[in-house]
Structure 1
Amino acid sequence: MMNSSSNLALVLPKFNRDTHSLFALNGNAVNSWLNSLPLANLGESTRQLFQALAELSHVACKAKDRLEILEKIRPQVHYVTKGLSQHYLNKPIILPEKTQKIVLLADTLNTQLATAYCQTFQGFEAESRLIKPKEAMATCLHRALTEHSCILLRSHQLYRASQNGFWLTLHTIYQCALSMKLSKIKVSDESHGDSVVMQAYLRPLMLACSRTHQLPQRHIEEIFKELNYWTAFIDLRADRLESCVLLLNPKDDSQPVYRELIKRAPAQGWLGIDTKIILKHGGALTDSPPARKSSPPSTLPKTIIDHLSLAWSSATSRAAERVPCNEPVLITLGMNATHYFVANQVDFDQFKIDRDQAESRPDP
């Protein structure tokens, strides 16, 4: 349920328990439980973490204790989701049903964490009537945005669209940060890099605008990591939208859109993404220390950097004119299937020739 007095307008699970079946509600007890996880058995560890987070979302406790518990569980969740990725990365795009369930499980773990951090934020709001613990509250929103970003990264790695409601949830979290003046607070994150809350929001926005469907899977996570640094050179604002390359309506369940593709005038509350700084000083994409301070230099190939520069500068016009038609289209997936139809439905094995027969046997 949603706390009607909260600035974070999200529907969250209701607390209906006072205790947790796996551990007491304190850091030491959680540490002991985490140390007992059979990390060598990825499946069992994942199952126990899933159970722990699912149960925690219904257990009432102080916001400070909940945050401490989550901060201890979070690294282990990232450990198992990284382990699960071996089942779906560098695999055929069409995943078998069992593998799709693994992807869903990884998404669910990130969602559970994000939800728990949002509950913690609302807890701090309710408990702190006068002086709000802004650093802790900023951490909660930063963590929630980051966990949702991990889900988006996984979707892009598998060339899939985001789930319904994904963008609206992300926009809602950031609008809460804006309303409480938390967007400029810097948060430490050993898992995905330190940044201010606004950068944690910009990272998924820019990833969605990177035309990753045109990129090899192996480079998409690299771009995601680099965005933690690059977003410091990108401006997100509510004014001078006419000079922004991308616009978004925080009330819509949608990602940013190129300004020239929007068919209606932006209304009050819209946000614009200005990439002029990072594109003008292109070195920001490839800078090496000390310019990047704690960040290592980018190792992305120049072709990928050029691709991003183009994607973040303007919409690409279609070179060929669209011609309406009503004709059947045959689509093949994979080299073997494509070769079969290109070769007039001759199986590829028919084209294999042993070296000693190369001269005596005609080329089919």
Structure 2
Amino acid sequence: MTSTPIKLKIPAQDLAAPTRFSANVADVSNWLQSLPDASLAGELSSALAELNSCAISPQVRYDILEVLRPQVENANAQLARHYLNQSPLVSTDVLGHAEQADQLCTLLGTAYTIVGVEVCTQGGAGKTAKLACEAIHRALMCCGRAVLQTMQLYRPLHMDGWMNLHQLYALAQQQKIAELPVPDPLDAGPTITAAYLQAILLGCCQPNRSRQSDLAVLYKALGDWSQHVALHPTPSDGSLFVVDIDSDQPPLYRHLVPEETTGRRLYLDTAQLLLDLRELHERALRTGATFESGSRLPVNILEQVVAALSTKRSRTFKRMLSRKTLAISPGMKNCHYYVASGLIFEQVLYGAIFEASRLIKEERFTPPLPNTDIWHEANPHEDFIHSTMNQAQEWVQLDEASRARLFRDEIDDGLADGVSHYPVYQVPLADVSPGGYCLDLDPAFPGVLRTGELVCLQEDNNSAWQIAVIRWLHMPSESRLLAGLELLSPRARAFGACIHDKSGKKTPPMRALLLPEIKIIGQAATLVTPRAGFREG
């Protein structure tokens, strides 16, 4: 590895000095204090781009960057509010915020790379080697954050993104500083190797199958877990993935890389990490994995990581191109409604003659409670209107379809804007297989899709509503989103479920779906509930 040239691109330092501030820490601090929050990201981008073209000694440049870095992190946090926790098919304005965040990470990473390259070129030991180690570690941290931000948007990494990661690690290996501990590693791994593997492992963990918030927690965890992964020039029994550090490619399954391929390969040995994760999984089976920062990684994400690092994924069914459209309605609330033949949740619990007029009035003027069920504060004994009429006078005979339509029309007519609470979208298909569908969406799609979200779907107006889950999202371009749906069941039944605590108290009912047993594939009957504290027993 020592004889191969390093392929890192850095701008020419053809400016004598920066124009926004003098090249010293005190003046940079004063300049930062004068910046308004509204223009922080733009000013930092311009300042970093200019600084990267200035001829400054490595130590002075590093000291300036350490002052700028916290403000870059603040600016990135502000920008993230505009593009996270919404549909990946964002508007042009929102996409601009994401691109600006990526640019900030790239510029800061380039600045630290300049320090590392210049120090390594000049040679030396002691403090000089320490500066090179810290600068390369910071550069890898910036590159890793760019990887995280890109994967949170389900997009491919920009050109040279993986190449920069690989080559920074190769430079550290060449200088024999990859395993030196970094005094202040921040939220990256404690060594250059660990920081490099933190980003590499994220690419191995099927990030397009995770939610944005879960990816952020997972990335922090990988900073610690990466210390239990080894890189070897030759494969071993625990080597499922391989990286070519001379390429601009993410980690790949080892069996997909031909043996005759040129380039320097490093094989990831995750055997020890898998042992640790399986032990952690047993401890966290009911509560999830909790970290010192207070962040919690759901058990299902932990299971996904173990599966991704231990077995190679391959398609079970053959995909066939399709130009048909599919009716979908995402979310547990919508699935419950359509599976129940158009009955609202209260009607499922207390019968189709449940009085809905009060519910309509409350929904018209009262904002919905965040992250709670509509039934959370309802009182069925007060909401159900008891009449003095005898039962024969009170009952009206209606067939099921008419009754469902009557209540649906009553609720929809009561909405101020006339928009249904349970939207259905007609979406085009990219391909189909016996196990599911691939949706092909464009920016005109009005809904929001998230990985792991329940979806009910219908192939035509006369067919039953099927239950599926969004397994993965991928954006091959800015105007196209592919969503993979895995079929769970051809039908379901709608119920309400309560959590019983140890004292005997129970929560208000929450929506639940019962998926029937499918004997032909050995699938037992399954109860689908919200992400709450349910457990078997």
TM-score strictly above 0.5 = yes
The residue matched to 2:403 in structure 1 has which SS?
coil
* 1:362 equivalent in alignment to 2:360: no
1:322 to 318, 334, 339: 318
Aligned CA distance change for structure 1 residues 264 and 19 (closer, same or farther; 3 Å): same
Aligned CA distance change for structure 1 residues 7 and 137 (closer, same or farther; 3 Å): farther
Give the deviation of 1:60 after TM superposition: 0.6
Aligned CA distance change for structure 1 residues 362 and 307 (closer, same or farther; 3 Å): same
Q: Which residue of 2 aligns with 1:34?
A: 32
Q: Which residue of 2 aligns with 1:77?
A: 72
Aligned CA distance change for structure 1 residues 67 and 115 (closer, same or farther; 3 Å): same
1:300 to 297, 302, 305: 297
Describe the superposition over 1:25-47 as per-residue Cα deviations: whole angstroms up to 9, x where unpaired.
11122122222223xx2x31112
Q: Which residue of 2 aligns with 1:251?
A: 246
**How many angstroms apart in 2 are the aligned matches of 1:6 and 1:56?**
29
**How many angstroms apart in 2 are the aligned matches of 1:174 and 1:309?**
25
* 1:203 equivalent in alignment to 2:198: yes
Contact 2:159–2:248 (8 Å) recurs in 1? yes
Aligned CA distance change for structure 1 residues 278 and 242 (closer, same or farther; 3 Å): closer
TM-score, normalisation: structure 2? 0.58
* 1:237 equivalent in alignment to 2:232: yes
Q: Which amino acid aligns with 1:174?
A: Y
Give the deviation of 1:268 after TM superposition: 6.6
Structure having the larger proportion of residues in strand? 2
Q: Which amino acid aligns with 2:85?
A: N
Contact 1:246–1:273 (8 Å) recurs in 2? yes
In angstroms, what is the RMSD of aligned CA positions? 3.2
The residue matched to 1:312 in structure 2 has which SS?
helix
**How many angstroms apart in 1 are the aligned matches of 2:311 and 2:220?**
23
**How many angstroms apart in 2 are the aligned matches of 1:80 and 1:197?**
25
Q: Which residue of 1 aligns with 2:19?
A: 21
Percent identical residues: 25
Give the deviation of 1:72 after TM superposition: 0.8
The residue matched to 1:124 in structure 2 has which SS?
helix
> Please, which moves more after superposition, 260-269 or 180-189?
260-269
2:137 to 115, 139, 142: 142
**How many angstroms apart in 1 are the aligned matches of 2:296 and 2:187?**
17
Unaligned runs of 5+ in 1: 289-293, 344-352
**How many angstroms apart in 2 are the aligned matches of 1:250 and 1:64?**
28
Unaligned runs of 5+ in 2: 285-290, 339-353, 360-394, 397-401, 406-537
Aligned CA distance change for structure 1 residues 236 and 6 (closer, same or farther; 3 Å): closer
Aligned CA distance change for structure 1 residues 29 and 270 (closer, same or farther; 3 Å): same
Total equivalences in the alignment: 339
1:167 to 162, 167, 173: 162
Describe the superposition over 1:243-296 as per-residue Cα deviations: whole angstroms up to 9, x where unpaired.
4111121122111112233343566731000110011233675689xxxxx955
2:309 to 303, 308, 312: 312
Aligned CA distance change for structure 1 residues 333 and 142 (closer, same or farther; 3 Å): farther
TM-score, normalisation: structure 1? 0.83
Q: Which amino acid aligns with 2:221?
A: E
Contact 1:7–1:176 (8 Å) recurs in 2? no
Structure having the larger proportion of residues in helix? 1
Give the deviation of 1:163 after TM superposition: 1.4
Contact 1:278–1:285 (8 Å) recurs in 2? no
Structure number, greater radius of gyration: 2
Aligned CA distance change for structure 1 residues 10 and 333 (closer, same or farther; 3 Å): farther
